[in-house]
Amino acid sequence: AYKAADLSGEVVVPSFTFMATVHPLAWCGLAPVFADVDPDTWNLDPASAEAAITPRTSAIVATHVFGNPADVERLEAVAHRAGVKLLFDAAHGFGALYRGKPVGSHGVAEIFSSSPTKLLVTGEGGIVATNDAEIARRVEVGREYGNPGNYDTEFPGLNARMQEFSAILGLHSLQMLEDNAQRRNQLVQIYRQELQDVGGIYFQKVDPRDRCSYKDFSIRVVEAEFGLSRDMLVKALRAEGVDTRNYYDPPVHLHTAYRHVGERYRGQLPVTERLARECVSLPIFSHMPPETVHRICEAIRRIQRHSAAIRKALS
């Protein structure tokens, strides 16, 4: 999609994201310019994105983190003022609603993932949604090695054709999408109700006009209030038989692959680095029994009650 959008120079992108948002920029010879995220929604902060724009900027790429729709209107305004393109990494977007409508129709393109952990599954693969006819054409050509059909390649493309079996799997998965999204929101409601009074635990803010897909359900753990650091909680939960994921730690600007540019951002993205230290994704899947959520929440409350002893044991 980045290739099809004909980008150049620099692209503003969040660092609190999965690496797949940024890697294709490097493959296309583009320079990622990292911006900070909003402390409440955890999505790209429009003000930080605007401050990162330079004369070399050709685009902004925003994400719907964990399926929480980005601040589309403000980002569109920033892109319009700067005269740059706006794209969305909608890898977590299936099942999410922005102002009551499915995400996928904003910017020049939105790029979805259909890998096994998503709400719509094709095994592996993705989907590009765009209203731009030329971008659509270039995506179609690009998935066939850049060959428009006459074997005279327009640009170096890939073998990115979806297999028929994957397409069939996706069509069947599509029929379950709404049910899966509703189930996940019901599970998250239980998580929130049971953990809302636990000191030091904070939730991602979702605009009441929108719906998060909850591809992942993540919480912030503030050590000074909870009694344990995020990493200590993770170890304690593991001892209780609860597996978790630290999304996204480290943030992309501190990955080894981006060390050549990342060090100049260290300390310059305070919200990103704080979220990377404090966020943990708790178990969630569409057909997860509510009883499992209750058990996990009880484990977290029990861990906090014994936080002093656990801290001593882990120190």
pLDDT tens string 291-310 = 999 999 999 999 999 999 99
CA–CA separation, 271 vs 278, rounded Å?
10
Amino acid 262: pLDDT: 79
- Reference 213, options 248, 187, 243; nearest CA is 187
Amino acid 160: pLDDT: 94
Domain residue limits, the chain: 10-174, 177-314
Token couple for 13: 């992108």
| Percent of the chain scoring above 90 in pLDDT | 97
Q: 177-314 maps to which CATH number?
A: 3.90.1150.10
Helices assigned H by DSSP within the chain: 23-27, 46-51, 72-82, 133-142, 164-175, 177-195, 223-226, 230-239, 259-262, 270-278, 290-305, 307-314
Task: Give the pLDDT confidence of 112-129 residue by residue, as tens digits.
Answer: 999 999 999 999 999 999
Q: Do 280 and 222 touch, CB atoms closer than 8 A? A: no
- Asked if CATH classification 3.40.640.10 holds for the domain at 10-174, the reply, yes or no, is yes
